[in-house]
């Protein structure tokens, strides 16, 4: 796969169709799913530096290419359309909430430990 193909796939995967799902009707409501989409990709190609010990027996220079892509899609909620009015109904993902809470707690504990070490060091150097 060359870099043009890779970039084409990245653009396809990060399109607005990933952020807004296919709308559907349910109980007289129009429901449009919404997600947070983030990602990136990269690629490259190149040839080995020219030197006396590189090159095949037919005089060609070794070359190669590579690339990769990664992404994240998180549900955010839905837009609900009823009688010409639109409202957003957020999705609640308990796992994300718990992980965010644990990360915050860890940061607070680490910053408290650093603060205590600085105070002890300042007190010892007097």
Residue pLDDT, tens place only, 52-98: 555 556 666 777 877 777 778 888 899 999 998 999 999 887 888 89
What is the Cα–Cα distance from 77 to 23, expressed in whole angstroms? 13
Higher pLDDT, 102 or 58: 102
Query: How much is the pTM?
Result: 0.50
Domain edges within the chain: 3-91, 92-126
**On the CB side of 6, how many CA atoms lie within 13 Å of its CA?**
15
- Residue 44 has a pLDDT of 77
For residues 88 and 51, the model is more confident at 88
How many angstroms separate the CA atoms of 66 and 54, rounded? Answer: 20
Q: Which residue has tokens 């919404």?
A: 34
């Amino acid at each position: 796969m060359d870099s043009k193909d890779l970039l084409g796939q990245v653009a396809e995967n990060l399109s607005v169709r990933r952020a807004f799902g296919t709308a559907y009707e349910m109980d007289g409501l129009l429901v449009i799913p919404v997600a947070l989409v983030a990602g990136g990709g990269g690629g490259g190609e190149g040839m080995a530096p020219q030197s006396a010990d590189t090159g095949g027996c037919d005089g060609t220079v070794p070359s190669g290419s590579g690339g990769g892509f990664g992404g994240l899609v998180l549900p955010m909620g839905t837009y609900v359309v009823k009688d010409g009015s639109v409202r957003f109904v957020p999705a609640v993902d308990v796992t994300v909430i718990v992980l965010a809470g644990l990360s915050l707690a860890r940061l607070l504990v680490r910053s408290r430990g650093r603060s205590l070490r600085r105070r002890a060091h300042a007190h010892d150097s007097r």
